[in-house]
Homo-oligomer: A and B are copies of this chain.
């Protein structure tokens, strides 16, 4: 029955059934509609539902990358990330995987491209170091993603956990994770959090402690903690944990020098329970254990 047909329209509510049905799934017409006296045919290609994997590559060493991340990378048709991170896992990708790495300076831009590619039906892997959900790409990407794509978060070992494992067990009990970067957060918010940590005797792990342009924040943060904690409080600085130029420094709040830390360092400051045993920085699991 030729379309548009008033009989068809009366029966199903629209005069154009074939084309409308083919396009209903959000696809695009592959060949123009063909019609005869008996039938009308329309062929559309429906885009597959896109998949966005948010993948943290861990602190750096290949043997600290979780197998689920490697599997998601093999599955990906498009990989997005900074050159240094893509280089780290290039050998895990299938031949033909599209890599959108360099030339994308800003995080917002990488997040936007990742979501856009997933919306087109691709399996997209958005990669970064550590865990994708901690000071990383998952937040900006998920702010843009709707429910029209599948999202898979693959958790990873953070820089703080890798640093802690090299120092001993400084994060053995309650702790706070703070970024000292005031590029996106006003310093007074950061300062209030350091004060709260100092006041409630929490172990603190500082991310982004110091860069060439941000050179006073770490000193200022340590000064706040030093007003609440003894000079002998253990402090650990781990640079580039699990990477080739890793450096582990164990010092105290009194002897700490900001120069030991840079942008790829994590600084961990102990609480009143933290101590050093045989060169290892340890925060016991509970306060009552300390008294026994």
Residues of A within 8 A of B (CB): 54, 58-59, 61-68, 71, 107-108, 131-136, 138-140, 142-143, 145-147, 151, 153-158, 161-162, 164-166, 168-179, 181, 183-186, 189-190, 192-193, 195-197, 199-202, 277-280, 282-289
Q: Main secondary structure on chain A at its contact with chain B? A: mixed
The listed residue (B65, B176, B287) touching A175 by CB distance below 8 A is B176
New A-B pairs, 12, CB < 8 Å, besides A65-B66, A143-B277 = A59-B155, A62-B67, A64-B155, A133-B161, A139-B172, A154-B165, A155-B164, A171-B177, A174-B190, A183-B286, A184-B286, A195-B200
11 contacts between A and B (CB under 8 A): A63-B68, A65-B66, A66-B66, A133-B164, A133-B169, A135-B172, A136-B172, A147-B279, A157-B157, A192-B201, A196-B202
- Total identical chains: 2
The 8 closest A-B pairs by CB, nearest first: A184-B286, A153-B165, A139-B172, A196-B200, A138-B169, A196-B196, A63-B68, A176-B176
Please determine whether A193 and B172 come into contact, CB atoms closer than 8 angstroms.
no
| Closest B residue, CB atoms, query A140 | B285
Please determine whether B288 and A133 come into contact, CB atoms closer than 8 angstroms.
no
